[in-house]
Amino acid sequence: MVAPSCFFKILYDFVSYLWAMIVVTGAAGFIGSALIGILLERGYGQIIAVDDFSDILKHKNLEHKRLYAKIERKIFFEWLESNIDEIQVILHIGARTNTAEKSQEVLDELNIEFSKRTWDWCIKGNIPFLYASSAATYGSGAQGFNDEDSIDQLEPLNLYGQSKHTFDMWVQKQSTTPPFWAGFKFFNVFGPNEYHKDRMASVIMHAFNQISATGKMKLFQSHRSEYLNGEQKRDFIYIKDLIDVLLFFMESRKNSGLYNLGTGKARTFKDLALSVFKALEISPKIEYIPIPEDIREAYQYFTEASMVKLKKAGYKGEFTPLEEGTKDYVNSYLKEKAYI
C-alpha cells in the first residue's frame, strides 16, 4: 500500500508534469497544431506555441485552442532566455516542409541552424528534445528503410530531404546531448489540420476534394517499367497514430535515438484512392496523369518503415489500417472541415 505522503508526492509530481510548459514549434502547421490539440485533450495545460503566425491560411489550426502563449519564431530564442527553467519538454516540429523548395538558404536557416540552436538550448536547460526528421532522408530507398543501420550513406533526392539528413547526421555526432532526445523520420502522414497545405497536402485530402467535385480521382502514372500505374507504394500513417508515438516518448523519456515513424506496411496509391471512394460510398473511377517534371526525378516509388527499433524501445501501440484511417478522416473531419 502506498503511504499517504508518497501518494501526495506522486499526485503532486503528476499534476506538476501536466502543467509544466510544453513547447511545440511549427505550432500553426499540420502536425504541430494536431499535436497541440491532442495534448490539450489529454490534460496538458501550459502549451507554448512557436511559429511564424503570419500565414492566415493556418489560423484556424489553432483557433479555439487554449494556449498558454504564442511566441513568434523570430523571438523564440530571446524568449527562452527568460523561461528556460520552466520548460518541461520541447517538441520541435517546425520546419520548411515543402519538398520542392529550391532555396538552400531557407532550408539551412529553418531546418538546420534553427534546429541546432534549439538542441543547444535544451542542453543548457536540461530539457528533453523531440524533433521531426523525414523519410525523405532515405532518398530512393535503394539502401532500404532500416533505422537501425548507419545513416552515413543515405542519399536524399531533394534539398528538403538533404536538410533533414544534415541535421540527423549532426545530432549523431554530438558528444553532449539533452537529457533525452529522439528524432522521428516521418513517413506519409495524413489527417486533419492539413487544409492549408494546398499542393503539399496528403493524397487522401486531394482524393477527397477531387472525388467530391468530379466523381473521379487522378493518380500519377508510373515512369518506371517495374511499377504499374497506381501501384507505387508508400507507408501511410494516420496523424493520430503518429502523435501517440510522440507522446509515448515524451512521457517515457527512455532510449534516445533516431526512429522511423510509419506503420511498417506499404500500400499502393490505388489502395488509397479506393479507400476514399469507399468512405464516400462512390463507385471508383481513376485516371492516371504524368508526374510533374519538377518532382519526377526525386519521386519515391516505394517507402516502408522498418518498425523493429520502435518496438524494441517499448512502444506497443497498433497502427490504424489505411481503410480505417481514411474512413475516420473523411467522415469525422474532411466532410465538415473539422480540426483536432
Catalytic amino acids? Answer: 160, 197
173: three-class secondary structure by DSSP: coil
Size (the chain), residues:
340
Q: Of 310, 330, 329, which is closest to residue 318 (Cα–Cα)?
A: 310
CB of 62 within 8 A of CB of 40?
Answer: no
Distance of alpha carbon 51 from the chain centroid:
15
- CB under 8 Å to 337, separation ≥6 — which residues? 195
Distance of alpha carbon 219 from the chain centroid:
23
Maximum C-alpha span of the chain: 69
- CB under 8 Å to 269, separation ≥6 — which residues? 203, 219, 220, 230, 231, 232, 233, 234
Q: Given the C-alpha cell 503532486, which residue does it identify? A: 12
The grid coordinates of residue 78 equal 530571446
CB of 139 within 8 A of CB of 298?
Answer: no
β partners of residue 260:
185
Q: Of 113, 122, 126, which is closest to residue 163 (Cα–Cα)?
A: 113
Q: Given the C-alpha cell 530531404, which residue does it identify? A: 161
- Beta strands 47-51 and 69-72 are parallel
d(CA 29, CA 55): 10
Sign of the CA dihedral running 79, 84, 88, 92: positive
Q: Which amino acid is at 185?
A: K
